């Protein structure tokens, strides 16, 4: 990979990775080593989270198709070796935490389960991020967003407690940005509609946090959604932005 061609994104826009059961199996041990190396880098490289996590799903029987995807990540990594997260020295009053959450509805073509993620920033720098394939199949985009928001809300509670312990207590509620207006309206509406009764537990938990002014759901446009970089295969221009 020393003389490889560099690329501007770790995965091709719109690409969907599948099991490739008819594909030619490759050397699994080497594949796992490459994945392990890339997973170690995720501690400081949230921009590679989606591409690496997609490859992790196929460690049981990797094929040549999966190896090609991993090699593209390496090519992207070579271009961005000096990339990292910059934490600027700020005054205490400006250390306000803000969250971003999004999902990829039925994004897995093998079992149609969702992938959801979140990013929390303090100031303008990311301090916490996660991407996870959900173990359930959601029945609507609203439910998918709810699963994602509840997960980020749980992380928000823990983060607020940590900041409080560090004498950086957050004044007021923490804003969590999402691009699904139905989820925001549902979290503020006391009426449980028939189409969302099956998510009542998550509904009451999230609504309680909103009423207690621990979190506030705020609508943001899709092009403003920071978490898209971890949940969707974006165009190169959008990814770089």
pLDDT beyond 90 at 174: yes
Residue 197 pLDDT class (50, 70, 90 cuts): low
Are the C-beta atoms of 50 and 230 separated by less than 8 Å? yes
For strands 125-133 and 174-178, give the pairing.
unpaired
Could you give the CA distance from residue 164 to residue 182 in angstroms, rounded to a whole number? Answer: 32
Q: What are 12-47's pLDDT values in tens digits? A: 887 777 787 787 888 888 899 999 999 999 988 998
Considering only CA atoms, which of 202, 93, 97, 200 is closest in space to residue 156? 97
Could you give the CA distance from residue 167 to residue 43 in angstroms, rounded to a whole number? Answer: 25
Q: What are 58-102's pLDDT values in tens digits? A: 888 888 888 989 999 999 999 998 888 888 776 555 788 999 998
Could you give the CA distance from residue 127 to residue 161 in angstroms, rounded to a whole number? Answer: 15
Strands of the chain, DSSP E: 97-104, 115-122, 125-133, 174-178, 215-219
CA distances from 53 to 21, 127, 217, 219 (A): 19, 19, 27, 27
Are the C-beta atoms of 64 and 105 separated by less than 8 Å? no
Instruction: Give this prediction's pTM.
Output: 0.83
CA distances from 21 to 25, 34, 51, 178, 206 (A): 9, 21, 20, 36, 40
């Amino acid at each position: 990979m020393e003389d490889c061609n560099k690329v501007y994104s770790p995965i091709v826009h719109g690409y969907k990775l599948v099991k490739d059961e008819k594909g030619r199996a490759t050397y699994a041990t080497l594949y796992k080593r490459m994945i392990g190396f890339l997973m170690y880098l995720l501690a400081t490289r949230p921009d590679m989270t989606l591409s690496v996590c997609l490859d992790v799903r196929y460690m049981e029987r990797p094929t040549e198709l999966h190896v090609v995807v991993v090699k593209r990540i390496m090519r992207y990594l070579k271009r961005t070796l000096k990339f990292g997260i910059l934490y600027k020295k700020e005054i205490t009053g400006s250390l306000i935490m803000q969250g971003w959450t999004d999902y990829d509805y039925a994004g897995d073509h093998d079992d149609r389960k969702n992938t959801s993620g979140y990013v929390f920033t303090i100031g303008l720098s990311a301090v916490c991020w996660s991407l996870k394939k959900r173990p359930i199949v959601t029945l609507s985009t609203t439910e998918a967003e709810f699963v994602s928001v509840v997960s980020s809300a749980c992380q928000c509670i823990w983060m607020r407690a940590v900041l409080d312990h560090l004498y950086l207590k957050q004044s007021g509620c923490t804003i969590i940005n999402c691009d699904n207006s139905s989820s925001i309206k549902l979290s503020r509406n006391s009426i449980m509609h028939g189409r969302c009764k099956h998510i009542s537990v998550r509904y009451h938990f999230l609504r309680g946090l909103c009423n207690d002014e621990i979190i506030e759901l705020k609508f943001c446009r899709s092009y403003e959604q920071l978490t898209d970089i971890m949940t969707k295969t974006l165009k190169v221009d959008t990814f770089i932005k």
